[in-house]
Amino acid sequence: MENSAIHRSQTNGLSQLSSQTQPWENIQVQQLQNSPGEGNCHFESQHTLFMSLASRPIHYVQVQGGKTHMGLYRRGDISITPANTPLFVRWEGEENCLQIRLTTQFMQSVARETLEQDLDRLELLPEFQIRNPQIEAIGMMLLTELQQEHSNNRLYLDSLANILAVNLLRHHTAIKPRLPIYEGGLPPRQLQQVLDYIDTHLAQNIKLTDLARLLDMSQFYFSRLFKQSIGITPHQYVSQQRVERAKQLLKKTDRLIVDIALECGFNSHSHLSKQFRQFTGMTPKAYRAS
């Protein structure tokens, strides 16, 4: 049987499901906004998290894994539903929550590459109304990205998905694995290899998996070692380099700003302008005229 979407039935019979949804690779994010009601969901090949975004506490009744939970969910409270686990939910207020789904294939890959263990030994546990500050922070960053008009920053999203998966495997499984420790950053030769690759492919949508594969290491550890080496994340470095290249083209050519944006890896004129202001404090047009 294929994955089934979450089915919500409201007391008035009308679904108020938000249209905001984003099926990024490995991770799917959706904001759910519903009137009081109840519903079921069952995803066979995806692990699902629900994080409350409601401004006021909402009373929930939840049934999964043979257990029933009743509680007043506050903003930031999280529930976890492992893949192939039916979930029933009833809520008594205006629901506003973030649904995050990670594929079992992706979780298996992270467990094997990062923790050097098989996911079968790291069975994800169903959870009700937990607090996890790191997952909450990741959820809010994903929500911000979901609300962007044009969001295709694969490197950033890959990083968030990896950190989220490692957190779940470390803290919400029956066996609590320990992360191997790697210190000292990347060797100079490997770091230069990565920097050269980024410089050559700035115009493309660089993926975290592409960078990690260059050095034959997991995406999670690549990100950690890269930041140890130069002090910022791969995503921050790529954004910085794209702005630097845009600055050069703005000063040395009279090309249209939208063309410069696309050549530097931005997906629009407005995307370039937003990033450019963050790094320089001015718009591309103002910079060219200065």
- Please give the chain's pLDDT, 290 residues, in tens: 334 444 444 333 323 344 455 557 789 999 999 999 999 989 989 999 999 999 899 999 999 989 999 999 999 999 999 999 999 999 998 999 999 999 999 999 888 888 777 666 778 999 999 999 999 999 999 988 887 755 567 888 888 999 999 999 989 988 777 766 667 788 888 999 999 999 999 988 898 999 999 998 888 889 989 998 988 889 989 999 999 999 999 989 989 999 999 899 888 888 888 888 888 888 899 988 88
Task: Return d(Cα 48, Cα 81) in angstroms, integer.
Answer: 5
Q: What is the pLDDT of residue 21?
A: 54
Q: What is the pLDDT of residue 10?
A: 38
Q: What is the CATH number of the domain that holds 232?
A: 1.10.10.60
Q: What is the pLDDT of residue 178?
A: 73
**Listed residues 171, 192, 209: the one ending a domain:** 171
Q: What is the pLDDT of residue 48?
A: 96
- Assign 3-class secondary structure to the chain: CCCEEEEEEECCCCCCCCCCEECCCCEEEEEEEECCEEEEEECCCEEEEEEECCCCCEEEEEEECCEEEEEEECCCCEEEECCCCCEEEEECCCEEEEEEEEEHHHHHHHHHHHCCCCHHHCCECCEEEECCHHHHHHHHHHHHHHCCCCCCCHHHHHHHHHHHHHHHHHHCECCCCCCCCCCCCCCHHHHHHHHHHHHHCCCCCCCHHHHHHHCCCCHHHHHHHHHHHHCCCHHHHHHHHHHHHHHHHHHHCCCCHHHHHHHCCCCCHHHHHHHHHHHHCCCHHHHHHC
**Whether residue 144 sits in one domain with residue 194:** no
**Whether residue 198 sits in one domain with residue 119:** no
**Whether residue 188 sits in one domain with residue 163:** no
Q: What is the pLDDT of residue 149?
A: 59
Decide if 176 is inside a domain: no
Q: What is the CATH number of the domain that holds 73?
A: 2.60.120.10
Domain range for 198: 182-290
Residue 162 β-bridge partners: none
**Whether residue 138 sits in one domain with residue 39:** yes
**Whether residue 213 sits in one domain with residue 118:** no
**Listed residues 171, 190, 205: the one ending a domain:** 171
Q: What is the pLDDT of residue 175?
A: 79
Q: What is the pLDDT of residue 119?
A: 65
Q: What is the pLDDT of residue 87?
A: 95
**Whether residue 166 sits in one domain with residue 239:** no
**Whether residue 225 sits in one domain with residue 135:** no
Task: Return d(Cα 104, Cα 163) in angstroms, integer.
Answer: 15
Q: How many domains does the chain have?
A: 2
Q: What is the pLDDT of residue 267?
A: 82
Q: What is the pLDDT of residue 94?
A: 92
**Listed residues 171, 194, 217: the one ending a domain:** 171
Q: What is the pLDDT of residue 20?
A: 53
**Whether residue 12 sits in one domain with residue 150:** yes
- If phi over 0 gives left and psi between -120 and 50 gives alpha, with beta otherwise, what is residue 13? left
Q: What is the pLDDT of residue 61?
A: 96
The pair of three-digit structure tokens given for residue 222, joined into one six-digit string: 């690549």
Q: Are strands 37-42 and 67-73 parallel, antiparallel or unpaired?
A: unpaired
Decide if 177 is inside a domain: no
Q: What is the pLDDT of residue 3?
A: 42
**Whether residue 230 sits in one domain with residue 148:** no
**Whether residue 221 sits in one domain with residue 150:** no
